[in-house]
Structure 1
């Protein structure tokens, strides 16, 4: 039993250390979605190691009575699942600004935010990457209208890898 345990532990350790690179050096594309309204972000990913990367997103948000921009940076850990599928988790933050235009109310504010990220992606045989992620964000700013709360950002992304 002791030999079986040691051999199993060695095989698991070998399998974890022989894992191939699962991410490309660079990827650029669009991240589309938002929690309330439609937003699009230009998204860039840069590999920092075999299974770690940095993602930077510059986006525009548009809702019923507001518009704004947001710059986000996230450090991500990528884990292979099966075939071309990977899942990833990350943390980071950013800065943004918004304007609210309603009858009798005109508010503009700049804010910072902290964010988490979890998602799943598929890496095609061609240099194309598609992903779906969930990014909870909490904002900190002067105005309590739209940024000092928890926001659940869900998005679909498509990126070209190079």
Structure 2
């Protein structure tokens, strides 16, 4: 009886795992990632599927013109994608990037210009519509390496809504 139970559990798990891997992701997707983490704001986002697996590379370029500073940030993430059901997927990833902050002259006494590096994680959920459109919601915590007088914080929990065209 114990062997039969273990066999049934194994077969159920194997079936579940194979169904999770059955969903394929689009070869390419481009769009916007709208968030507010650490003052950078909206990002142009590009995703590229890697090989036959459900893995992909995401590149995001964000910029901001503000009353206090101008900034840009380039992010690269490696993501693993798993199917939940139908068009719903969840994903997780790791990566990092580089950025620059140019503080306006009237704020130079308070903050310094800086170029920075950061590491990032990523976890989110997405829905692939029947048309070539994908909607996502993700959390990207980032840990930055800035100078002591930067306008940015060392830790930034970035929550964003993504809208991408798939091709």
TM-score by length of 2: 0.87
CA distance in 1, matches of 2:154, 2:122: 17
TM-score of the two chains, using structure 1 as the length reference: 0.89
Classify 1:154/1:64 alpha carbon distance in 2 versus 1 (closer, same or farther; 3 Å): farther
Asked if 1 retains the 8 angstrom alpha-carbon contact of 2:55 and 2:80, the reply is yes
Aligned residues: 162
Kept after mapping to 2: 8 A contact 1:140/1:147: no
* Alpha-carbon distance in structure 1 between the residues aligned to 2:107 and 2:137: 38
Following superposition, the deviation at residue 27 of structure 1 comes to 0.5
Q: What is the root-mean-square deviation in Å for CA atoms of aligned residues?
A: 2.0
**Structure holding more helix per residue:** 2
Partner of 1:5: 6
- Corresponding residue SS for 2:17: helix
Could you tell me whether the CA contact under 8 Å between 1:136 and 1:152 is conserved in 2?
yes
Structure 2: state its 5+ residue gaps: none
Structure 1 stretch displaced more, 75-84 or 61-70: 61-70
Paired with 2:13 and 2:165, the residues of 1 have a C-alpha distance of: 33
- Structure 1, residues 97-127: CA drift from partner, whole Å, max 9, x if none? 0122263526321111000111111100001
1:158 paired residue number: 163
Structure 1 or 2: more strand by fraction: 1
- Tell me the residue number matched to 1:28: 30
Equivalent pair of 1:21/1:50 in contact (CA under 8 Å): no
Alignment match, 2:104: 101
Of 123, 130, 150 in structure 2, the residue corresponding to residue 125 of structure 1 is: 130
Report the alpha carbon displacement of residue 36 of structure 1 after superposing the two structures with TM. 4.8
